[in-house]
A and B are shown apart, each in its own frame.
Chain A
């Protein structure tokens, strides 16, 4: 399965991609290429199936709509994790690939969030103490670049291990998948409906924006019928 997906080179590329995505999540740029929609597409492209990656990214994105990277909040990190999700979806043909990719992406996102917490704690020990008698420019430069470097390695490790699990472990573990494509779509739609509902509540939900919600739903129903 690893050879079919591009071999060790693909894993290395995914690791580098994961490192860059990890940086983009918080440390450098924040251009949101680390959002699962983009990250999974890029990972899928590395493995030769960008559209598959996008499908995984769409579902992961729906789960993470409610996650706001506000200040010191602790949250899952879906960017590097999406590499593993895309890898699992590429490795498994059929609807089980999408389900497995989403499940792996969700688990790895929480793992990623835990590593972000560890990184920030580590950074706190590494940066110069502002209350110290002397804080040198060299110490500021060194600790800042050091933190960025560690973040890259963290993201790379996360994406690399996730991709390895997705390409090698998940296909070996699966015993069967009882749902067809439509039922799998239904399962995933049900799963993401909860966080999408929570997302609406974040903005005040039905009470505050009932006309916007209803209007949007009406437009959506029309689009379902005609598009």
Chain B
């Protein structure tokens, strides 16, 4: 019966499960889960995706729950080594919730249904928020600052510090929310501002890219910093190339772009084009 409570849930006195009353996960275990989550993609593969990584992350908890190495541990590990996927920065939401569910003795089927339900939303949310939002926004800000003449160490350090400030804030928040909310984390996610933040970051990216384009076209890159100015014919060529990318860029594979660039550079080096 699925009435929203779990065996051992203090809201339903008298019901018992594998861990009556649930167990408070020790702080040391929680730390180990979080640190291991940084390597959840270590064994990424086309068959189980993050499955093996998720099982690896949960190992300290499962070992604690099942009294060390043995058949009970292996059975629990086997349940978690199946297909699973999520954005790496948001996987902690799912794993934190799973950890809480396991500690409360949730039936395995319930845990599996939960994992299957969250992996899609966590993946798409993370892609929009991070890969298409926070990451390009931070990169574009760094690139704009370089083209404005900022010292290289300011550009690089600024990017690493600012980006990872947001990165780790998201990971820590997600893990804590998952641990706290358990199975109810889905409802909590619906109330967050993360999707709206993703939309705002998208607009920031477009704004920064707009700022970057004149700097790139007018100054161009040089070995010791932004160039002293690009000759007019090349400015025209860059504007045309940019417009072509805006118009048809998504249809051209990056390999084709690489081939054209390498061919041009190669011919120039060998001296075939003057």
- Partner-B contacts on A (CB < 8 A): 26-33, 35, 37-38, 41, 50-52, 54-55, 58-59, 61-72, 75-76, 89, 94-100, 102-103, 106-107, 109-110, 120-121, 123-124, 126-128, 130, 132, 134-138, 140-141, 143-148, 151, 173-179, 181-206, 209, 212-217, 219-221, 223-224, 227
Contact = CB atoms under 8 A, between A and B. Distances in A.
A189 B226 CA distance: 11
Nearest to A220: B214
Nearest to B236: A190
B184 interface: no
B194 interface: no
Interface string B125-168: 00100011001100110110011110011011001100110010
Contacts of A196: 209, 212-213, 216, 242, 245
Contacts, number: 368
B78 A37 contact: no
Task: Specify the main secondary structure of chain A where it touches its partner.
Answer: helix
Interface of B: 38-39, 41-49, 51-53, 55-56, 59, 62-63, 69, 73-74, 77-78, 81-83, 85, 88-89, 123, 127, 131-132, 135-136, 139-140, 142-143, 146-149, 152-153, 155-156, 159-160, 163-164, 167, 202-203, 205-225, 227-231, 233-235, 237-239, 241-247, 249-250, 252, 254-255, 257-258, 260-262, 264-266, 268-271, 273-274
B209 A32 contact: no
B125 to A, nearest CB: 12
A106 B166 CA distance: 29
B42 A209 contact: no
17 contacts: A30-B88, A55-B221, A58-B147, A96-B269, A120-B46, A135-B77, A137-B63, A141-B56, A143-B43, A144-B43, A144-B56, A175-B271, A184-B220, A191-B264, A193-B242, A194-B244, A197-B243
Contacts of A151: 42
A97 B224 CA distance: 11
A189 B216 contact: yes
Contact of B224 (A51, A140, A175, A206): A51
Contact of B44 (A26, A51, A130, A204): A26
A186 B220 contact: yes
Contacts of B167: 30-32
A178 B273 contact: yes
A178 B139 CA distance: 32
B245 A63 contact: no
Given A130-B83, A198-B246, A65 B136 contact: yes
A70 B131 contact: yes
A197 to B, nearest CB: 2
Contact of A220 (B164, B203, B211, B228): B211
A194 B51 CA distance: 38
Nearest to B134: A32
Contacts of B139: 35, 37, 61, 65
A138 B69 CA distance: 9
A202 B10 CA distance: 49
Contacts of A54: 146, 152, 155-156
Contacts of B63: 137
A96 B216 CA distance: 19
Given A65-B139, A189-B220, 10 more contacts: A41-B156, A51-B225, A55-B222, A61-B143, A96-B269, A110-B254, A127-B47, A178-B268, A187-B268, A188-B221
